[in-house]
Amino acid sequence: MTHSPAPPPLWTRPFTLTTLGMFLLFTPFALYLPVMPVYLLHKLNASMEAAGAVNGVFLVAAALFRAQTARLEARFGRRRVYLASGFLFVAANLLYLAATTVTAVMLVRFFSGACFAIANTGIQAMGSRLIPHSRTGEGLAYITTMVLAGSAVGPYLGLSLSRSFGYQAVFMVSALVSFLGMLVLCSLKVPDERPQVPPFSFHGLYERQAVPASLILLMIAVAYGGVLTFVAVYAAELHLSAIAGYFFVTMAVASVAARLLTGRMYDRFGPHAVIYPAILLMAGGLLLLGWARSNGSLLSAAALIGIGYGMAVPAIQALAIQLSPTHRTSEATATVFTCLDGGVGLGAYLLGGMILALGYARVYGALGLMVLACALLYYAMGRKWETASATPVAATEKDSP
């Protein structure tokens, strides 16, 4: 009787520290998404468009600078780049203490978004290189689970701090948490590699094989950005503001639970078994959110959106990386997260005006239909991915040199 070899270890010390560091960096990132629009509306007397733009500016900067990560790594080394950009992100959190006008806040958001994008891309790519190839889906699911754990703690912490202690406390706690994350990442003993990058070209800013999957993720992220940015204001309009913090906790906990299962499902059954249900669940959650009138319906919508989004992101990320050359992991990761950040930013920026014109219910209903349309787009693109879908990850490892 033959025994199959034991799978290679996943939870090594470097991988564990990388996921912990990402959790601590993503907590302040997620903390600001629901807090900043309320801060601008209530403290700086900004317009609804500016309230949406405050997250849009951050995420547009992230999309612009994320694509430069590989070139910076080639010039200065991977470790130096993620450490320098990470500590600049810590400093950006402190700059909010001095930003007392809408313009100043926007400038700090842009700077913070650029620093966060470079640090996040480098750290996520480093984490993906630490994963055994046969456990790609599972490893990426754990990485993104820690990201979502930060996304659960951040908004709840931010809304609670702002109500109890004011916005100055929000900024100081964010700086402290991100600083702790950088201390964890400093303890990693990884070589300061300088990957070879060809001369500048637009192709060098992205990975072509990762683009189709990333575009689907962009559409999903537009809807998610509308939820992150405006659901706290929407809950207040429904006289349910006390439940707003729990909305984010429910959504993120549901996402974490979904992602813990997504990796194994992806590795065993392929992307179709994950991505189609993810799209349907998220679309249903958005439609329910548009009609929410009670705590129960609001939290049910949060759970559906969380499960759908939690399944979609790691599955689409894993698919994009699998379809890309192994030596272009950073470029593939940058492509995925450029579309992810760009989509969330577009949702934050564009939907403020739409909400003023149409109202929350119609906008969230329209977003639900848009996400549902992603299933058709995925089906149309899926013909090109049949080989990747039919071949298990473990099999590709056997065939690789």
Q: Where are the domains of the chain?
A: 13-189+204-389
- The two tokens of residue 77 are 């080394």
pLDDT (0 to 100) of residue 63:
78
The kind and range of the H/E element at 28 are helix 13-42
Q: Side chain identity at 285, as an amino acid letter? A: G
Is residue 217 within 8 Å of residue 339, measured between CB atoms? yes
Closest alpha carbon to 100 in 44, 36, 57: 44
**pLDDT band (50, 70, 90) for residue 108:** very high
pLDDT confidence bin for 372, thresholds 50/70/90: very high
Residue 352 contacts residue 53 (beta carbons within 8 Å): yes
| Contacts for 393 with CB less than 8 Å, ≥ 6 apart | 133, 134, 135, 136, 137, 267, 322
pLDDT the model gives residue 393? 41
User: Cα(284)–Cα(268) distance, rounded to whole angstroms?
Assistant: 26
**Token couple for 356:** 């003023």
The predicted pLDDT at position 396 comes to 36
Q: What is the pLDDT of residue 167?
A: 93
Name the helix (H) or strand (E) containing 124. helix 102-129
| Span 127-169, pLDDT tens digits | 888 888 777 777 877 887 787 778 778 988 998 899 899 999 9
Using the predicted structure, report yes or no on whether residue 60 has a pLDDT greater than 80.
yes
Taking CA 348 as the corner, what is the angle to CA 361 and CA 171, rounded to the nearest 5 degrees? 120
Q: Which CATH number does 13-189+204-389 carry?
A: 1.20.1250.20
Nearest CA to 277 out of 168, 139, 371 is that of 371
pLDDT for 110 beyond 50: yes
User: CB count, 10 Å around CB of 239?
Assistant: 8
Average pLDDT over residues 334-348: 81
Residue 81 has pLDDT above 70, yes or no: yes
Q: What type of residue sits at position 39?
A: Y
- How do residues 12-26 score in pLDDT, each as one tens digit? 888 889 889 989 999
Distance of alpha carbon 52 from its chain centroid, rounded? 18
DSSP 7: P
pLDDT at site 36:
93
Q: What is the pLDDT of residue 331?
A: 76
Cα gap 193→190, rounded to integer Å: 8
Q: Of 84-98, 176-190, 344-358, where does the model show the most confidence?
A: 84-98
